[in-house]
Structure 1
Amino acid sequence: MTPSEFFAAFTWRDALDFGLLYVAFYGTLRLLRGTRAVPVLLAVAFFAAIAAAARALDLVAVAALLKYVLEYIIIILIVVFHQEIRRVLLRIGQQLLPQGRRQQTRTAVSELVSAMERLQRARIGALIILEGELDVLDIASNRGREIDASLTADTIVALMIPHPTNLAHDGALLIRDLKIARAGVICPLSQRDDLDPRFGTRHRGAIGASEETDALVLVVSEERGEIRVVSRGEISPALSPAELETLLGEWLDQPPAEEADEDGEPVVARSRVDLTAASLESRVDLERSSVEGVK
């Protein structure tokens, strides 16, 4: 078929077919860019190209072998990258229904603030990790146990109550996609030597988790009854419930952005949160004034 014959036979349905495939392929790559799935997908594409070349050159044995390899690889990828696939689907849903996402965020913030206040009043130490785009379990020395529960203040407090049978209290709660994903997660301790000597294992674990990932980590000190937040290795001053509410709302509403990791490779992550006392106070005042203006 000559180029002129090809274009003469090219209909609007062919254009629509091509356009939809392009949008789906490009959109999927955009959503997956910066995740650990990308190098694997490139390897799969490489094998698929070799398989296509083998069929074109009539290399029967190579083509048959790669056909079976690719079929099993697809199944393996679905199992190994089920978290990434789930996040992509959730992100698509959030973009299609942003109002529902905002309501979920407001509810999550309210439950988290309520839980932290109750833990603070009871002087119960707690470590809660809000996972960003980077998988916290990749750096965890102990992945804890799966919970998969709704994000409510009652559940958080119950999981943090110290008791000989409650092993979750000694680790961190992992919040993923606005749900309590796991409990008893142990993260590496920060090795920094410039930290306040009052900060013990719990605070060092919070800083360690935030140094290696883009997570936002909430800490309650059982000795001093203080609430602090850690982001990218930086720890906040003691926070009031209003400051915590403002900070959580900002972080959860923040869209992920592309940045470079230590090796210069692109990753999708959440940005550092400004935890200075002056910045927090001004943001709380601004939020109060906006709420009063609405009233």
Structure 2
Amino acid sequence: MFNGLIDIIKTMRITDVIDILIIAYVMYRLIMVIHKTRAEQLLKGLAVLIVITKLSEWLQLRTVNYILRNAMTVGVIALLIVFQPELRRGLESLGRSGFLGKNFFFFNEEEKDMSEVLGEICDAVQFLSRSKIGALIVLERETGLNELIETGIAMDSKISSELLINTFIPNTPLHDGAVIIRGDRIMAAGCFLPLTDNQNLSSELGTRHRAGIGVTEISDAVAIIVSEETGTISLAQNGRLSRHLDAKTLKEVLSSIFEVKENKKPVWKKWGNKHAD
């Protein structure tokens, strides 16, 4: 067996090595996409079903084997339907990986001081938290959120802490729903977001938190949530929620996510024409 392995290695070409590396990378990405999701449990169930099918074939349980084999055939289509969110997330992750070049799809770029933008957001969040005013702010990144923006009221306004605060004042037309921010502009308010399907969340988390987590499960966006009951500041990213943040910690976390450093002005990626303030 050892000699046979050596013979195989000797006959391998560079293209074979590249082929193996590509498959290994794809498998790794698939595992990372489904890790700690419902798809992980479903795949475990599928593995058990395959083992039982083979076992029934070995034991010559013809009726059981017939049912299981036909169930497996139909199951392929069922898996595509059940895994639709995970497949979408995986394809979006591939699109964000920079395979085609970081600026391949972006034709309009302009430099913005992200530190100033984050400062305005954090100032607003601090006031909202202190006043116990509920808020949900979504910061768009590489994945476009046009579908969600269209569910709200278009604003297309330059960010300011005062505007954000006024948007979430109770009993005003736009206070319910989410604000979506793209670059240095508030694109829309009162937006509807998809709720998370995660059943393991604390029962004390309401719709606002579940919506904030939900939008980060289908995109690479970041969601900031302010609790109306306690004023607690939370941040959702990649389907995970960090709670009990203060304004300073929030800005540090956001600066890390958006790679903001002192005296550095990152390039914002724009869809459409440049805006005049």
> Do these two structures clear the TM 0.5 threshold for a shared fold by scoring above it?
yes
- Output one character per residue of 1:234-274: Cα deviation in whole Å (capped at 9) or x when no partner: 00021011110101111222789xxxxxxxxxxxxxxxxxx
- Output one character per residue of 1:70-90: Cα deviation in whole Å (capped at 9) or x when no partner: xxxxxxxxxxxxxxxxx5311
Question: Is 1:214 paired with 2:220?
Answer: yes
TM-score in terms of structure 1 length? 0.52
Residue 134 of structure 2 corresponds to 125
More helix by share: 1
* Uncovered stretches (5+) of structure 2, i.e. residues with no partner: 1-99, 261-265, 268-277
Residue 159 of structure 1 corresponds to 167
Residue 120 of structure 2 corresponds to 111
Query: What letter matches 2:224 in structure 1?
Result: L
Mark the CA change 1:142 to 1:188 in structure 2 (over 3 Å): closer, same or farther.
farther
Answer yes or no: is the 8 Å Cα contact 1:136–1:209 preserved in 2.
no
Offset, 1:109:
1.4
Answer yes or no: is the 8 Å Cα contact 2:124–2:161 preserved in 1.
yes
- Output one character per residue of 1:265-284: Cα deviation in whole Å (capped at 9) or x when no partner: xxxxxxxxxxxxxxxxxxxx
Runs of 4+ in 1 over 2 A off after TM superposition: 29-33, 252-256
- Output one character per residue of 1:130-187: Cα deviation in whole Å (capped at 9) or x when no partner: 001111233x396201111111100000001111xx3321110000012111111101
Answer yes or no: is the 8 Å Cα contact 2:149–2:188 preserved in 1.
no
CA distance in 1, matches of 2:150, 2:175: 14
* Uncovered stretches (5+) of structure 1, i.e. residues with no partner: 1-28, 36-86, 95-100, 257-295
Q: 2:101 aligns with which of 14, 30, 46?
A: 30
CA distance in 2, matches of 1:204, 1:160: 18
RMSD across aligned positions (CA): 2.2
Residue 194 of structure 1 corresponds to 200
Question: Is 1:184 paired with 2:184?
Answer: no
How do 1:38-57 residues align onto structure 2 when only pairs under 5 Å count? Answer: none
Answer yes or no: is the 8 Å Cα contact 2:137–2:181 preserved in 1.
yes
Residue 107 of structure 2 corresponds to 88
Task: State the number of aligned residues.
Answer: 164
Query: What letter matches 1:30 in structure 2?
Result: G
Residue 70 of structure 2 corresponds to none
Answer yes or no: is the 8 Å Cα contact 1:146–1:182 preserved in 2.
yes
Q: 1:242 aligns with which of 217, 240, 248?
A: 248
Q: 2:257 aligns with which of 238, 251, 254?
A: 251
TM-score in terms of structure 2 length? 0.55
Question: Which secondary structure does the structure 1 equivalent of 2:181 belong to?
Answer: strand
Among the aligned pairs, what percent are the same residue? 31
